[in-house]
Amino acid sequence: MNQEKDRKYRKEHDTMGEVLVPADRYWGAQTQRSYMNFRIGTEKIPAEIIRAFAVLKKAAALANVELGMLDEERGKRIAQVCDEILDGKLDGNFPLAVWQTGSGTQSNMNVNEVIANRAAELTEGRVDFHPNNHVNCSQSSNDTFPTAMHIAALAAVEDRVLPAVKSLAETFDDLSEKYASIVKTGRTHLQDAVPLTLGQEISAWAEMLKKDGEFIAAAAEGLRELALGGTAVGTGLNAHEKFGERAAEIISELTGRRFITAPNKFHSLTSKDQIAFVHGAFRTLASDLMKIANDVRWLASGPRCGIGEITIPENEPGSSIMPGKVNPTQCEALTMVAAQVMGNDVTVGIGASQGNFQLNVFMPVIIYNFLQSAALLSDAVNSFNEHCARGIRPDEQRIAENLEKSLMLVTALNPHIGYENAAVIAKTAHREGITLREAAVRTGLLTQEEFDRYVKPEEMAGLRHGK
Protein backbone atom coordinates (compact mmCIF):
# COMPACT_ATOMS: atom_id res chain seq x y z
CA MET A 1 0.00 0.00 0.00
CA ASN A 2 2.74 2.46 0.99
CA GLN A 3 4.76 1.59 -2.09
CA GLU A 4 1.77 2.37 -4.34
CA LYS A 5 1.07 5.57 -2.44
CA ASP A 6 4.66 6.76 -2.70
CA ARG A 7 4.98 5.81 -6.36
CA LYS A 8 5.84 8.62 -8.75
CA TYR A 9 3.93 9.19 -11.97
CA ARG A 10 4.37 11.07 -15.22
CA LYS A 11 1.82 12.28 -17.74
CA GLU A 12 1.40 10.45 -21.04
CA HIS A 13 -1.16 11.22 -23.70
CA ASP A 14 -2.98 9.52 -26.54
CA THR A 15 -5.91 10.54 -28.72
CA MET A 16 -8.26 10.37 -25.74
CA GLY A 17 -6.24 12.72 -23.55
CA GLU A 18 -3.72 12.55 -20.73
CA VAL A 19 -3.13 9.62 -18.37
CA LEU A 20 -0.87 9.21 -15.34
CA VAL A 21 1.67 6.44 -15.86
CA PRO A 22 4.19 5.03 -13.34
CA ALA A 23 7.41 6.98 -13.79
CA ASP A 24 9.54 3.85 -13.51
CA ARG A 25 7.85 2.13 -16.46
CA TYR A 26 8.25 2.71 -20.18
CA TRP A 27 4.67 2.08 -21.21
CA GLY A 28 2.34 4.88 -22.29
CA ALA A 29 -1.25 6.00 -22.15
CA GLN A 30 -2.91 3.17 -24.06
CA THR A 31 -1.20 0.54 -21.96
CA GLN A 32 -2.22 2.33 -18.78
CA ARG A 33 -5.84 2.57 -19.89
CA SER A 34 -5.93 -1.17 -20.57
CA TYR A 35 -4.19 -1.91 -17.27
CA MET A 36 -6.83 0.12 -15.42
CA ASN A 37 -9.86 -1.05 -17.38
CA PHE A 38 -9.23 -4.81 -17.48
CA ARG A 39 -8.57 -5.92 -13.92
CA ILE A 40 -9.77 -9.40 -14.76
CA GLY A 41 -8.15 -12.55 -13.43
CA THR A 42 -4.45 -13.19 -12.99
CA GLU A 43 -3.66 -14.38 -16.52
CA LYS A 44 -1.25 -12.08 -18.35
CA ILE A 45 -0.21 -11.97 -21.98
CA PRO A 46 2.48 -14.70 -22.15
CA ALA A 47 6.14 -13.71 -22.19
CA GLU A 48 6.53 -15.76 -25.38
CA ILE A 49 4.17 -13.35 -27.15
CA ILE A 50 6.13 -10.33 -25.93
CA ARG A 51 9.34 -11.87 -27.25
CA ALA A 52 7.65 -12.67 -30.55
CA PHE A 53 6.51 -9.04 -30.75
CA ALA A 54 10.10 -7.93 -30.19
CA VAL A 55 11.23 -10.09 -33.10
CA LEU A 56 8.54 -8.84 -35.46
CA LYS A 57 8.98 -5.17 -34.43
CA LYS A 58 12.71 -5.44 -35.09
CA ALA A 59 12.06 -7.10 -38.45
CA ALA A 60 9.46 -4.47 -39.33
CA ALA A 61 11.84 -1.63 -38.49
CA LEU A 62 14.67 -3.11 -40.55
CA ALA A 63 12.34 -3.81 -43.49
CA ASN A 64 10.88 -0.32 -43.31
CA VAL A 65 14.37 1.20 -43.41
CA GLU A 66 15.26 -0.87 -46.47
CA LEU A 67 12.02 0.11 -48.21
CA GLY A 68 12.35 3.80 -47.42
CA MET A 69 9.44 3.93 -45.00
CA LEU A 70 11.55 4.73 -41.91
CA ASP A 71 14.80 6.62 -41.39
CA GLU A 72 17.92 4.69 -40.46
CA GLU A 73 18.38 6.27 -37.02
CA ARG A 74 14.92 5.35 -35.84
CA GLY A 75 15.14 1.89 -37.34
CA LYS A 76 18.45 1.26 -35.57
CA ARG A 77 17.13 2.38 -32.19
CA ILE A 78 13.90 0.41 -32.49
CA ALA A 79 15.93 -2.71 -33.28
CA GLN A 80 18.20 -1.98 -30.30
CA VAL A 81 15.25 -1.82 -27.88
CA CYS A 82 13.81 -5.02 -29.35
CA ASP A 83 17.09 -6.74 -28.50
CA GLU A 84 16.78 -5.44 -24.94
CA ILE A 85 13.32 -6.96 -24.71
CA LEU A 86 14.64 -10.27 -26.01
CA ASP A 87 17.45 -10.16 -23.43
CA GLY A 88 14.92 -9.65 -20.64
CA LYS A 89 16.17 -6.18 -19.76
CA LEU A 90 12.70 -4.62 -20.00
CA ASP A 91 10.75 -7.29 -18.12
CA GLY A 92 8.09 -5.70 -15.94
CA ASN A 93 6.92 -3.37 -18.68
CA PHE A 94 4.29 -5.71 -20.12
CA PRO A 95 1.50 -5.99 -17.52
CA LEU A 96 -1.61 -6.50 -19.58
CA ALA A 97 -4.27 -9.13 -19.01
CA VAL A 98 -5.30 -11.83 -21.46
CA TRP A 99 -8.85 -10.59 -20.92
CA GLN A 100 -8.67 -7.43 -23.04
CA THR A 101 -9.64 -6.49 -26.55
CA GLY A 102 -9.88 -9.64 -28.66
CA SER A 103 -7.60 -8.25 -31.34
CA GLY A 104 -4.72 -7.78 -28.89
CA THR A 105 -4.53 -4.11 -29.89
CA GLN A 106 -3.58 -3.00 -26.40
CA SER A 107 -0.70 -5.46 -26.21
CA ASN A 108 0.55 -4.32 -29.60
CA MET A 109 0.43 -0.74 -28.31
CA ASN A 110 2.07 -1.78 -25.05
CA VAL A 111 5.06 -3.02 -27.03
CA ASN A 112 4.98 0.05 -29.31
CA GLU A 113 4.94 2.45 -26.35
CA VAL A 114 7.72 0.71 -24.47
CA ILE A 115 9.91 0.67 -27.57
CA ALA A 116 9.18 4.31 -28.39
CA ASN A 117 9.91 5.62 -24.89
CA ARG A 118 13.02 3.52 -24.41
CA ALA A 119 14.34 4.40 -27.89
CA ALA A 120 13.87 8.10 -27.16
CA GLU A 121 15.75 7.63 -23.90
CA LEU A 122 18.63 5.99 -25.74
CA THR A 123 19.00 9.12 -27.88
CA GLU A 124 18.66 11.29 -24.73
CA GLY A 125 15.58 12.89 -26.24
CA ARG A 126 17.40 13.97 -29.37
CA VAL A 127 15.09 11.92 -31.64
CA ASP A 128 11.32 11.76 -31.33
CA PHE A 129 9.76 8.28 -31.44
CA HIS A 130 6.03 7.91 -31.86
CA PRO A 131 4.52 4.51 -31.00
CA ASN A 132 2.13 4.60 -33.94
CA ASN A 133 3.98 6.59 -36.59
CA HIS A 134 7.38 4.95 -36.17
CA VAL A 135 7.28 1.72 -34.15
CA ASN A 136 4.00 0.64 -35.72
CA CYS A 137 4.96 1.81 -39.21
CA SER A 138 3.45 -0.41 -41.96
CA GLN A 139 1.59 -2.41 -39.30
CA SER A 140 -1.72 -2.85 -37.54
CA SER A 141 -2.57 -4.74 -34.38
CA ASN A 142 -4.69 -6.86 -36.69
CA ASP A 143 -1.67 -8.28 -38.49
CA THR A 144 1.00 -8.03 -35.76
CA PHE A 145 -0.85 -10.02 -33.09
CA PRO A 146 -1.53 -13.04 -35.35
CA THR A 147 2.07 -12.82 -36.54
CA ALA A 148 3.30 -12.92 -32.93
CA MET A 149 0.99 -15.88 -32.33
CA HIS A 150 2.53 -17.88 -35.15
CA ILE A 151 6.11 -17.02 -34.18
CA ALA A 152 5.54 -18.00 -30.55
CA ALA A 153 3.49 -21.09 -31.41
CA LEU A 154 6.03 -22.52 -33.85
CA ALA A 155 8.83 -21.99 -31.34
CA ALA A 156 6.82 -23.81 -28.67
CA VAL A 157 6.18 -26.73 -31.01
CA GLU A 158 9.72 -27.08 -32.31
CA ASP A 159 11.67 -26.27 -29.15
CA ARG A 160 9.49 -27.86 -26.50
CA VAL A 161 6.73 -30.22 -27.54
CA LEU A 162 8.38 -32.23 -30.30
CA PRO A 163 11.68 -32.87 -28.44
CA ALA A 164 9.78 -34.05 -25.35
CA VAL A 165 7.60 -36.41 -27.38
CA LYS A 166 10.62 -37.78 -29.26
CA SER A 167 12.51 -38.45 -26.04
CA LEU A 168 9.66 -40.40 -24.45
CA ALA A 169 9.14 -42.40 -27.65
CA GLU A 170 12.83 -43.33 -27.57
CA THR A 171 12.49 -44.49 -23.97
CA PHE A 172 9.60 -46.75 -24.92
CA ASP A 173 11.51 -48.06 -27.95
CA ASP A 174 14.37 -49.05 -25.64
CA LEU A 175 12.02 -50.76 -23.18
CA SER A 176 10.18 -52.51 -26.00
CA GLU A 177 13.41 -54.00 -27.28
CA LYS A 178 14.62 -54.88 -23.79
CA TYR A 179 11.45 -56.76 -22.89
CA ALA A 180 10.74 -58.26 -26.30
CA SER A 181 10.83 -61.87 -25.06
CA ILE A 182 8.69 -61.55 -21.90
CA VAL A 183 5.36 -63.20 -22.72
CA LYS A 184 2.36 -61.94 -20.76
CA THR A 185 -1.40 -62.03 -20.90
CA GLY A 186 -3.10 -59.49 -23.09
CA ARG A 187 -6.21 -57.61 -22.04
CA THR A 188 -9.19 -56.29 -23.97
CA HIS A 189 -12.30 -54.74 -22.37
CA LEU A 190 -10.31 -54.94 -19.08
CA GLN A 191 -10.68 -58.73 -19.41
CA ASP A 192 -8.09 -61.41 -20.08
CA ALA A 193 -7.13 -61.87 -23.73
CA VAL A 194 -4.59 -63.86 -25.73
CA PRO A 195 -0.87 -63.42 -25.00
CA LEU A 196 1.58 -60.89 -26.32
CA THR A 197 4.98 -59.77 -25.10
CA LEU A 198 5.63 -56.88 -22.80
CA GLY A 199 7.80 -55.46 -25.57
CA GLN A 200 4.89 -55.58 -27.99
CA GLU A 201 2.63 -53.85 -25.49
CA ILE A 202 5.13 -51.06 -24.95
CA SER A 203 5.78 -50.76 -28.69
CA ALA A 204 2.22 -49.47 -29.09
CA TRP A 205 3.02 -46.60 -26.71
CA ALA A 206 6.13 -45.72 -28.68
CA GLU A 207 4.25 -45.76 -31.98
CA MET A 208 1.49 -43.52 -30.61
CA LEU A 209 4.04 -40.90 -29.67
CA LYS A 210 5.80 -41.12 -33.02
CA LYS A 211 2.50 -40.66 -34.84
CA ASP A 212 1.58 -37.76 -32.56
CA GLY A 213 4.90 -36.09 -33.32
CA GLU A 214 4.25 -36.51 -37.03
CA PHE A 215 0.74 -35.06 -36.71
CA ILE A 216 1.96 -32.03 -34.77
CA ALA A 217 4.90 -31.37 -37.09
CA ALA A 218 2.72 -31.61 -40.19
CA ALA A 219 0.05 -29.35 -38.71
CA ALA A 220 2.68 -26.80 -37.61
CA GLU A 221 3.69 -26.10 -41.21
CA GLY A 222 0.74 -23.72 -41.41
CA LEU A 223 2.27 -21.60 -38.65
CA ARG A 224 5.04 -20.56 -41.03
CA GLU A 225 2.62 -18.19 -42.79
CA LEU A 226 2.70 -14.70 -41.30
CA ALA A 227 -0.06 -12.11 -41.44
CA LEU A 228 2.35 -9.18 -41.29
CA GLY A 229 1.77 -6.87 -44.24
CA GLY A 230 -2.01 -7.21 -44.20
CA THR A 231 -2.44 -4.21 -41.85
CA ALA A 232 -6.06 -3.52 -40.83
CA VAL A 233 -8.24 -5.76 -43.00
CA GLY A 234 -5.81 -7.62 -45.27
CA THR A 235 -5.36 -5.06 -48.05
CA GLY A 236 -1.95 -3.86 -46.82
CA LEU A 237 -3.11 -0.25 -46.52
CA ASN A 238 -0.26 2.13 -45.52
CA ALA A 239 2.40 -0.57 -45.93
CA HIS A 240 4.94 -0.91 -48.73
CA GLU A 241 3.90 -3.61 -51.19
CA LYS A 242 7.09 -5.58 -50.44
CA PHE A 243 6.92 -5.10 -46.68
CA GLY A 244 5.24 -8.40 -45.78
CA GLU A 245 7.63 -10.48 -47.84
CA ARG A 246 10.75 -8.71 -46.63
CA ALA A 247 9.64 -8.71 -42.99
CA ALA A 248 9.03 -12.47 -43.15
CA GLU A 249 12.52 -13.00 -44.57
CA ILE A 250 14.07 -10.98 -41.75
CA ILE A 251 12.01 -12.81 -39.11
CA SER A 252 13.32 -16.06 -40.57
CA GLU A 253 16.88 -14.77 -40.25
CA LEU A 254 16.34 -13.57 -36.68
CA THR A 255 14.68 -16.77 -35.45
CA GLY A 256 16.46 -19.40 -37.49
CA ARG A 257 13.06 -20.75 -38.57
CA ARG A 258 11.48 -20.66 -42.00
CA PHE A 259 8.62 -18.17 -42.26
CA ILE A 260 6.85 -16.83 -45.32
CA THR A 261 4.39 -14.03 -45.84
CA ALA A 262 0.84 -15.39 -45.93
CA PRO A 263 -0.36 -15.60 -49.55
CA ASN A 264 -3.85 -14.44 -48.56
CA LYS A 265 -3.81 -11.82 -45.80
CA PHE A 266 -7.60 -11.68 -45.66
CA HIS A 267 -7.47 -15.29 -44.48
CA SER A 268 -4.61 -14.78 -42.06
CA LEU A 269 -6.38 -11.95 -40.24
CA THR A 270 -9.84 -13.43 -39.90
CA SER A 271 -9.10 -17.15 -39.52
CA LYS A 272 -7.25 -18.96 -36.77
CA ASP A 273 -7.66 -22.36 -38.43
CA GLN A 274 -3.92 -23.00 -38.63
CA ILE A 275 -3.30 -22.61 -34.92
CA ALA A 276 -6.51 -24.49 -34.07
CA PHE A 277 -5.31 -27.33 -36.31
CA VAL A 278 -2.05 -27.61 -34.38
CA HIS A 279 -3.86 -27.54 -31.07
CA GLY A 280 -6.09 -30.31 -32.38
CA ALA A 281 -2.91 -32.36 -32.78
CA PHE A 282 -2.04 -31.42 -29.18
CA ARG A 283 -5.42 -32.84 -28.17
CA THR A 284 -4.59 -36.07 -30.01
CA LEU A 285 -1.29 -36.27 -28.15
CA ALA A 286 -3.14 -35.64 -24.88
CA SER A 287 -5.53 -38.50 -25.69
CA ASP A 288 -2.63 -40.90 -26.24
CA LEU A 289 -0.83 -39.70 -23.12
CA MET A 290 -3.98 -40.33 -21.10
CA LYS A 291 -4.14 -43.87 -22.46
CA ILE A 292 -0.44 -44.55 -21.86
CA ALA A 293 -0.48 -43.21 -18.30
CA ASN A 294 -3.60 -45.25 -17.50
CA ASP A 295 -2.00 -48.40 -18.91
CA VAL A 296 1.09 -47.85 -16.81
CA ARG A 297 -0.77 -47.29 -13.55
CA TRP A 298 -3.09 -50.26 -14.19
CA LEU A 299 -0.16 -52.55 -14.92
CA ALA A 300 1.70 -51.25 -11.85
CA SER A 301 -1.36 -51.42 -9.59
CA GLY A 302 -0.91 -53.16 -6.27
CA PRO A 303 1.67 -53.85 -5.08
CA ARG A 304 -0.08 -57.02 -3.84
CA CYS A 305 -3.76 -56.73 -4.69
CA GLY A 306 -3.60 -55.28 -8.22
CA ILE A 307 -2.22 -56.41 -11.56
CA GLY A 308 1.35 -55.66 -10.55
CA GLU A 309 3.00 -56.88 -13.75
CA ILE A 310 5.37 -53.93 -13.83
CA THR A 311 6.97 -51.77 -11.20
CA ILE A 312 7.54 -48.03 -11.48
CA PRO A 313 9.86 -45.76 -9.48
CA GLU A 314 8.83 -44.94 -5.92
CA ASN A 315 9.32 -41.18 -5.83
CA GLU A 316 7.56 -39.97 -2.69
CA PRO A 317 5.26 -41.17 0.11
CA GLY A 318 1.72 -41.62 -1.14
CA SER A 319 -0.40 -41.15 1.93
CA SER A 320 -0.58 -38.96 4.99
CA ILE A 321 -2.23 -41.78 6.98
CA MET A 322 -1.26 -45.11 5.38
CA PRO A 323 2.43 -45.88 6.09
CA GLY A 324 4.44 -47.29 3.22
CA LYS A 325 1.91 -46.40 0.53
CA VAL A 326 3.37 -45.24 -2.78
CA ASN A 327 1.21 -43.94 -5.62
CA PRO A 328 1.63 -43.57 -9.42
CA THR A 329 1.93 -39.80 -9.09
CA GLN A 330 3.63 -39.14 -12.41
CA CYS A 331 0.75 -40.91 -14.16
CA GLU A 332 -1.70 -38.76 -12.24
CA ALA A 333 0.10 -35.53 -13.15
CA LEU A 334 0.26 -36.54 -16.81
CA THR A 335 -3.44 -37.40 -16.96
CA MET A 336 -4.39 -34.11 -15.30
CA VAL A 337 -2.34 -32.28 -17.92
CA ALA A 338 -4.08 -34.28 -20.64
CA ALA A 339 -7.45 -33.23 -19.23
CA GLN A 340 -6.37 -29.57 -19.17
CA VAL A 341 -5.19 -29.72 -22.78
CA MET A 342 -8.48 -31.29 -23.87
CA GLY A 343 -10.31 -28.45 -22.15
CA ASN A 344 -8.01 -25.89 -23.73
CA ASP A 345 -8.83 -27.36 -27.11
CA VAL A 346 -12.49 -26.52 -26.60
CA THR A 347 -11.55 -22.91 -25.84
CA VAL A 348 -9.21 -22.71 -28.83
CA GLY A 349 -11.88 -24.18 -31.11
CA ILE A 350 -14.57 -21.79 -29.92
CA GLY A 351 -12.14 -18.88 -30.20
CA ALA A 352 -11.19 -19.85 -33.73
CA SER A 353 -14.87 -19.77 -34.71
CA GLN A 354 -15.12 -16.07 -33.88
CA GLY A 355 -13.67 -14.62 -37.07
CA ASN A 356 -16.36 -12.05 -37.69
CA PHE A 357 -15.91 -10.51 -41.14
CA GLN A 358 -12.26 -9.35 -41.48
CA LEU A 359 -10.87 -10.10 -38.00
CA ASN A 360 -10.82 -12.76 -35.32
CA VAL A 361 -11.42 -11.17 -31.92
CA PHE A 362 -10.51 -14.06 -29.59
CA MET A 363 -6.77 -14.04 -30.27
CA PRO A 364 -5.40 -13.44 -26.74
CA VAL A 365 -7.32 -16.34 -25.23
CA ILE A 366 -6.45 -18.61 -28.16
CA ILE A 367 -2.72 -18.07 -27.83
CA TYR A 368 -2.82 -18.14 -24.03
CA ASN A 369 -4.39 -21.60 -24.10
CA PHE A 370 -2.16 -22.79 -26.94
CA LEU A 371 1.03 -21.82 -25.16
CA GLN A 372 -0.21 -23.21 -21.86
CA SER A 373 -0.93 -26.53 -23.56
CA ALA A 374 2.50 -26.59 -25.18
CA ALA A 375 4.24 -25.85 -21.89
CA LEU A 376 2.19 -28.35 -19.90
CA LEU A 377 2.61 -31.11 -22.47
CA SER A 378 6.36 -30.69 -22.77
CA ASP A 379 6.93 -30.36 -19.02
CA ALA A 380 4.65 -33.27 -18.11
CA VAL A 381 6.06 -35.58 -20.78
CA ASN A 382 9.62 -34.80 -19.69
CA SER A 383 8.70 -35.35 -16.03
CA PHE A 384 6.91 -38.63 -16.78
CA ASN A 385 9.86 -39.80 -18.85
CA GLU A 386 12.47 -38.95 -16.23
CA HIS A 387 10.62 -39.99 -13.09
CA CYS A 388 8.51 -42.90 -14.33
CA ALA A 389 8.95 -44.33 -17.84
CA ARG A 390 12.69 -44.87 -17.66
CA GLY A 391 12.23 -46.81 -14.45
CA ILE A 392 9.57 -49.26 -15.69
CA ARG A 393 10.59 -52.82 -14.83
CA PRO A 394 8.74 -56.13 -15.28
CA ASP A 395 7.74 -58.35 -12.37
CA GLU A 396 8.41 -61.56 -14.23
CA GLN A 397 7.04 -63.80 -11.50
CA ARG A 398 3.70 -61.99 -11.46
CA ILE A 399 3.61 -61.94 -15.26
CA ALA A 400 4.19 -65.71 -15.39
CA GLU A 401 1.53 -66.37 -12.73
CA ASN A 402 -1.06 -64.30 -14.56
CA LEU A 403 -0.21 -65.92 -17.89
CA GLU A 404 -0.57 -69.38 -16.42
CA LYS A 405 -4.00 -68.50 -14.98
CA SER A 406 -5.32 -66.88 -18.16
CA LEU A 407 -8.30 -68.73 -19.62
CA MET A 408 -7.77 -67.12 -23.00
CA LEU A 409 -4.86 -69.40 -23.78
CA VAL A 410 -7.66 -71.71 -24.84
CA THR A 411 -7.88 -69.68 -28.07
CA ALA A 412 -4.92 -71.69 -29.41
CA LEU A 413 -7.19 -74.74 -29.44
CA ASN A 414 -9.71 -73.31 -31.91
CA PRO A 415 -8.01 -74.73 -35.04
CA HIS A 416 -7.75 -78.17 -33.43
CA ILE A 417 -11.05 -78.79 -31.61
CA GLY A 418 -13.22 -75.85 -32.70
CA TYR A 419 -14.49 -72.74 -30.96
CA GLU A 420 -17.38 -74.38 -29.08
CA ASN A 421 -15.31 -77.25 -27.66
CA ALA A 422 -12.60 -74.78 -26.63
CA ALA A 423 -15.28 -72.73 -24.87
CA VAL A 424 -16.35 -75.85 -22.93
CA ILE A 425 -12.78 -76.23 -21.64
CA ALA A 426 -12.55 -72.55 -20.65
CA LYS A 427 -15.90 -72.53 -18.86
CA THR A 428 -15.12 -75.78 -17.06
CA ALA A 429 -11.77 -74.43 -15.87
CA HIS A 430 -13.36 -71.20 -14.64
CA ARG A 431 -16.34 -72.88 -12.98
CA GLU A 432 -14.33 -75.55 -11.20
CA GLY A 433 -11.28 -73.42 -10.42
CA ILE A 434 -8.84 -75.67 -12.24
CA THR A 435 -6.27 -75.11 -14.97
CA LEU A 436 -7.06 -75.24 -18.67
CA ARG A 437 -4.90 -78.34 -18.97
CA GLU A 438 -6.85 -80.08 -16.23
CA ALA A 439 -10.16 -79.02 -17.78
CA ALA A 440 -9.11 -80.27 -21.21
CA VAL A 441 -8.35 -83.72 -19.78
CA ARG A 442 -11.42 -83.78 -17.50
CA THR A 443 -13.76 -83.02 -20.39
CA GLY A 444 -12.11 -85.72 -22.50
CA LEU A 445 -11.52 -83.32 -25.35
CA LEU A 446 -7.71 -83.53 -25.21
CA THR A 447 -4.94 -85.46 -23.57
CA GLN A 448 -2.38 -83.60 -21.50
CA GLU A 449 0.23 -84.17 -24.20
CA GLU A 450 -2.07 -82.77 -26.91
CA PHE A 451 -2.84 -79.71 -24.80
CA ASP A 452 0.86 -78.97 -24.23
CA ARG A 453 1.58 -79.42 -27.94
CA TYR A 454 -1.12 -76.96 -29.00
CA VAL A 455 -0.99 -74.34 -26.25
CA LYS A 456 2.35 -72.52 -26.40
CA PRO A 457 2.02 -68.90 -25.20
CA GLU A 458 5.26 -67.76 -26.80
CA GLU A 459 4.07 -68.96 -30.20
CA MET A 460 0.69 -67.34 -29.62
CA ALA A 461 2.57 -64.05 -29.11
CA GLY A 462 4.34 -64.58 -32.43
CA LEU A 463 7.83 -65.19 -31.07
CA ARG A 464 8.46 -68.17 -33.31
CA HIS A 465 8.06 -65.77 -36.25
CA GLY A 466 10.62 -63.40 -34.79
CA LYS A 467 8.00 -60.82 -33.85
CATH number at residue 17: 1.10.275.10
- Residue 292, in any domain of the structure: yes
Q: Are residues 60 and 104 in the same domain?
A: yes
316 and 448: one domain? no
Residue 442 belongs to some domain of the structure: yes
Last residue of a domain, one of 137, 171, 192: 137
Residue 416 designated active-site: no
Residues 161 and 110 in one domain: no
Q: Which of 341, 367, 395 is the last residue of a domain?
A: 395
Question: Is 246 within the bounds of a domain?
Answer: no
Print pLDDT tens along the chain (467 aa).
Answer: 455 667 899 999 999 999 999 999 999 999 999 999 999 999 999 999 999 999 999 999 999 999 999 999 999 999 999 999 999 999 999 999 999 999 999 999 999 999 999 999 999 999 999 999 999 999 999 999 999 999 999 999 999 999 999 999 999 999 999 999 999 999 999 999 999 999 999 999 999 999 999 999 999 999 999 999 999 999 999 999 999 999 999 999 999 999 999 999 999 999 999 999 999 999 999 999 999 999 999 999 999 999 999 999 999 999 999 999 999 999 999 999 999 999 999 999 999 999 899 999 999 999 999 999 999 999 999 999 999 999 999 999 999 999 999 999 999 999 999 999 999 999 999 999 999 999 999 999 999 999 999 999 999 999 975 44
Same domain, 179 and 45: no
The answer as to whether 245 is a domain residue is: no
Long-range contacts of 323-331 (CB under 8 A, 24+ apart): 328/296, 328/297, 328/300, 328/388, 330/293, 330/383, 330/384, 330/387, 330/388, 331/293, 331/294, 331/296, 331/297, 331/384, 331/388
Domain contains 1: no
249 found inside a domain: no
In the chain, what's the furthest Cα-to-Cα distance?
A: 104
Task: From the candidates 167, 189, 268, 430, give the one annotated as an active-site residue.
Answer: 189
> Number of folded domains in the chain?
3
444 and 378 within one domain: no
Assess whether 375 and 427 both reside in one domain. no
Tell whether 129 is covered by a domain: yes
Q: What is the pTM assigned to this prediction? A: 0.96
Residues 319 and 437 reside in one and the same domain: no
Give the active site residue among 13, 181, 319, 430: 319
Domain co-membership, 390 together with 459: no
- Domain at 413, CATH number: 1.10.40.30
CATH number at residue 344: 1.20.200.10
Judge if the upstream peptide bond of residue 303 is cis by omega within 30 degrees of 0. yes
Listed residue (417, 467, 465, 466) closest to 440, CA to CA: 417
Task: Respond yes or no: is residue 319 known to be catalytic.
Answer: yes
- Within this chain, do residues 187 and 325 fall inside the same structural domain, yes or no? yes
Domain of 317, in residue numbers:
156-221+264-395
Type of residue found at 413: L
- Is 293 domain-assigned? yes
Same domain, 208 and 330: yes
